Structure 1
Amino acid sequence: MAKKVKYYFDTESLAYRKIKPKLSKKLGYIGLFLLSSALFGFLCFVVLLNSSYLETPKDRLQAREIETMKLRYAILNKKMEQIEEVLADVEERDNNIYRAYFNTSPIPAEQRKAGFGGVNRYKELEGFDNSELVINTSKRVDVIAKELAIQSKSLDEILKLAKEKNKLLSAIPAIQPVKNEQLKHMASGFGYRTDPFTKVRKMHEGMDFTAKTGTPIFATGDGVVVSADNSKSGYGNHIEINHGYGYLTLYAHLSKYKVKRGQRVKRGDVIGYVGSTGRSEAPHLHYEVHKDGKVVNPINFYYGNISAAEYVVISKLANQENQSLD
């Protein structure tokens, strides 16, 4: 399409003449066009830079680094899964074999796997595109590190117990406090029994050994005498021995003592003699075993001086529902 030509009427010559545009105006139009084109091009460049359609070499490098980081974190989490499996196996053996063997309380799972309360330890990792991945992995590493520290401390304790194994085995109350040949009979065992005075069933927290007054009573394990008096109501003359490792034994209704408070005794030492002092119906020894502050059945500890056949007989007698002597 041809460019339109503009004319004007010349009154002097009475004729139409072409209108010729001024050079400055042409240059102005050209400048305005170039400026508009530059602005439009700049805006397009900014839009492209902030879109996913145009990637600079730096962007491509960062994207590769991010993908590599994600891959490394995935590998790290896989390795941590393997570590957690091995650690769980070690913890299981620690609680149910090592600590059980040495009569030590297991470490609760909530203590082993406890988190980190209070201050946000991962605040500086927040606000990034992959913050959740990094924070969760960091938490996992910290929990494993804590479990390893607890397990290491536990194994140190087990090692110490292993070195003191002979002391531990000597301390456990492992024999009867009265010899079988000196017993008249097993009067009453551990559990609910009829009270000889009130005739009401109540918990009998020990075992009663019927024997003649003056029959020797033996310490059932190595330890230190913590009391040899009649301060406990109903027990009459009694002795308490602290064996360590959470064990304590009590011998009640004695006729007399052969030890005093603070004295160290060995398993098999004579510590006193059978009697009927305190709340007692007839001459006998009332014997209790405590572990970690809780009373336990003494029948489980007579493996040191009786045979399997004798144990079966005593166990049957102890489990009979009869009347206690105190």
Structure 2
Amino acid sequence: MNWDAFITCAVTGVGDSAGKNPHVPITPEQIAGAAIEAAKAGAAIAHIHVRDTATGKGARDVALYAEVVRRIRESDTDVIINLTAGMGGDIVFGSVEQPLPLNMKATDMVGAEERLAHVTALLPEICTLDCGSMNFAEGDYVMTNTPGTLRAMAKRVQALGVRPEIEVFDTGHLVLCKQLIKEGLIDDPVMIQLCMGIPYGAPDDPQTLMAMVNNLPPGAVHSAFSIGRMQLPFAAMALLSGGNIRVGLEDNIWLSRGVPATNGQLVERAVGITQGMGARIMGAAEVRAKLKLEKRVGAMA
């Protein structure tokens, strides 16, 4: 059991959720506002994707990230910024009988430096590294993160002084994570997010969660989440496993059956679960000290 826990709020993601919940933020102003809302509700960390303002689909535009980060920093809200670096690793194959050529309208594959362009420009306190490849949900989409690409990204993030949050979707990803640590590419304290319940990665049952927790690198600080209706139950599961919590509209758009959630409401619910279990919520300053983060202030060029 973790008696002193922090909450991460993943405020928007890139999934096709904006049309299903009017509270899913799309514009930089809305995304920044969602991060601030989550912080005021009790989240220490805001995990951020950006979306194309015209289509609502996921984007990698550095200018969009820059506006979000500027708005958050200029608000003087004490929240740790965690930018995704998962975009740019998406392969979508053609038909079952003709996998090549790729579906280039849906495929988005770029090099390690381009995937980190916004991190290099904006220097968030944290950015994510998806530590492996997997069949991601239905269809012919493969989330693609090769060992060579991850080594290059880890080395670059380390040089920038940004803390990587290692996103682990299955047990083999922990093996690669440990290898990167062994090679000196990830500094202490190692920060790991256990991403559960996503087809076809690790299922979100207690046995699988604890198997993954029991195979974490020694001394790692971990969080855990699941998606959809299991998001809020996993707030309790994460604490019981000795970890921290992630909630937010990236992973779940409902507060209860048929009731669209806001990011603030999901954080408030996670706070209530935590306090109801007798644990304490950590603020951003405490988390910054725990994770040895350098606080970033003001707008970056």
Q: Which has the higher helix share?
A: 1
TM-score (normalizing by structure 2): 0.22
Q: Looking at CA atoms only, which structure, 1 or 2, has the larger radius of gyration?
A: 1
| Greater RCO (CA < 8 Å, at least 6 residues apart) | 2
